Amino acid sequence: MQTYLVGGAVRDKLLDRPVVDHDHVVVGALPEELLALGYKPVGKDFPVFLHPQSGEEYALARTERKSGHGYHGFVFQADATVTLEQDLARRDLTINAIAQDEHGALTDPYHGVRDIEARVLRHVSPAFVEDPVRVLRVARFAARFAPLGFTVAPETMALMQQMVRDGEVDHLVPERVWAETRKALGEPQPSAFLRVLREAGALRVLFPEIDALYGVPQRAEFHPEIDTGVHMEMVLDAAAKLAPGDDLVGFCALMHDLGKALTPADELPRHVDHEHRGVAPLRALCARLKVPAEHAALAELVCHEHLNAHRALELRPATVLKLLSGLDALRRPARLDAFLLACEADKRGRLGHESDDYPQATYLHEARATAAAVNAADFVARGLTGPAIGKAMEAARIDAIGALKSNRRRS
């Protein structure tokens, strides 16, 4: 029995990146042997075990062959006869098909080290086409490694395009599409996720609402980048910088301008009412991909209210309170944080505006604190009861926001 460190742990060591997960493959062993050593079984489809001390994953070397459509259409073989090279052959990319033994020696039959040095995302074998999830995974790895200069190998992109033409991505289950998308939104350059999917032809299949934004013009005085799809990419990357690793902010940024794809042609490049038009496609996408409730709810608020956030300094105090109340920001300040980060990303996701200040965020945070400081107990002490307390609190909060606004103007 021999064990090897494999996959992302080896790749990230070679890239001098922090290693988060340590996955291992076991060659020349049977499940009974690992059980006898105290390993705990966790795999359902194939033998995966947790180390009795470290808790790290150890999987028996295995091969797989296609037996149907989609992610689950595989038959696995895992026994003591499967070699390390056979196990590595089933992996998606060469940079993920490197193994390291206990002495640090590398096994690299598919030249993953060379591709790491060349900054290339390349498939291991023609069997790549058998798993449609790999289209999403390559796009996600592009979002992670684009800042390091990684690009997709032309021959790998050609395979991905063929998978789309053959209808393989049509068999992806919503949960897996969302899982990969959510991870991509937390990567350093999520725009690469969209670009890779679009070049492969998968964006129009999996995210038609987003694909429809490309080629839609915007007013150059507000959007020097013109193309709404390009703006979307810039907003995503701005969100990744403002809120690193935060897929909630990233999803809100991704969804905020869907309505621009529905602007009538005779109104272009203006997009009047796009914040309302975007709600229907946003809801359709969230329902189709089974997006978590909080992601869907906050994304809809960003879609509907981002223009009010941009105009916050000009809004009447009553409108500011209405905005804060609609966000439930008085009770849930973290929600306001995520909302404003997505709105700031929208402001910065424009050519030449990447470093713009966003004083609206400071003002709305101050307005929330001011409104939240109004206490019901003060009105109860005055003898008010029932609905009268709520009305009095609303009026007091509007007055407090008004005073804040006046003080800001004077200063």
Does the pLDDT at position 70 exceed 70? no
Whether 18 is in a domain gets the answer yes
**SS3 of residue 27 by DSSP:** strand
- Residues 210-232: tens digit of each pLDDT: 999 999 999 999 999 999 999 99
* E strand map for 42-148: 48-50, 57-60, 63-66, 74-77, 99-100, 106-107, 120-121
Q: What is the CATH number of the domain that holds 42?
A: 3.30.460.10
d(CA 231, CA 233): 5
Residue 26: which domain range? 1-110
Q: Would you give the DSSP letter of residue 113?
A: H
Whether 4 is in a domain gets the answer yes
Does the pLDDT at position 263 exceed 90? yes
Whether 192 is in a domain gets the answer no
Give the per-residue pLDDT at 32: 87
Residue 127 φ/ψ region, left for φ over 0, alpha for ψ in the -120 to 50 degree band, beta for the rest: alpha
- Residues 366-375: tens digit of each pLDDT: 999 999 999 8
Average pLDDT over residues 166-172: 93
- Supply the mean pLDDT for the chain: 94
Whether 35 is in a domain gets the answer yes
d(CA 153, CA 155): 5
Nearest C-alpha neighbor of 134 from the set 196, 78, 58: 196
- Residues 304-353: tens digit of each pLDDT: 999 999 999 999 999 999 999 999 999 999 999 999 999 999 999 999 99
CA dihedral 163, 229, 180, 173 (to 10 degrees): -60
Give the per-residue pLDDT at 197: 98
Whether 95 is in a domain gets the answer yes
Q: How confident is the model at residue 410 (pLDDT cuts 50, 70, 90)?
A: confident
Decide: residue 274, CB within 10 A, 0-12 exposed, 13-18 middle, 19+ buried.
buried
Whether 66 is in a domain gets the answer yes
CB under 8 Å, gap of 24 or more: what pairs does 357-366 form? 359/313, 360/309, 360/310, 360/311, 360/312, 360/313, 363/312, 363/313, 363/408, 364/309, 364/312, 364/320, 364/323, 364/324, 364/336, 364/340, 365/336, 365/340, 366/404, 366/408
Q: What is the domain count for the chain?
A: 1
Judge whether 98 and 107 are in contact, CB under 8 Å: yes
d(CA 151, CA 95): 12
Rounded to the nearest 5 percent, the helix, strand and coil shares of the chain are 55, 10, 35
d(CA 8, CA 16): 12
Which structure tokens are listed for 15? 């890239």
Whether 359 is in a domain gets the answer no
Whether 153 is in a domain gets the answer no
Lowest-pLDDT range of 4-8, 23-27, 64-68, 111-115: 64-68
